[in-house]
Chains A and B, each alone.
Chain A
Amino acid sequence: MNDSIHRTPGAAFAATAAGAATVGVSLKPVHFADARDASYAGLWFEVHAENYMVEGGPRLKWLEAIRAAHPLSLHGVGLSLAADAAPDAAHLERLRRLARRVEPFVLSEHLAWSHWRGEYRPDLLPIPRTEAALARIADNVLRVQDALGRRILIENPSHYVAMPWHAYDEIEFLTALTGRTGCGLLLDVNNVYVSANNLGFDAGAYLDAFPAEHVGEIHLAGHTLDPELGRALLVDSHDAPVADAVWALYARFCARAGARPTLIERDDNLPAFDELIAERARAAEISAARSAAA
Chain B
Amino acid sequence: MIRLRSVSKEYERRTILDALDLQVDAGEFVFLTGPSGAGKTTLLRMLYAAEYPTEGEVWVAGRRIDEMVRAQLPLLRRKIGVIFQDFKLLRRKTVLENITFVLRIHGVAPREAHRRAMKVLRRLGLQHRQAAFPDALSGGEQQRVAIARALAYQPRLILADEPTGNLDADLASELLSLLCDINYQGATVLVATHDHAILESIPARTLVLHQGQIHYDGMWPP
Task: Answer whether A and B are interacting partners.
Answer: no
Which residues of B approach A to under 8 Å, CB–CB? none
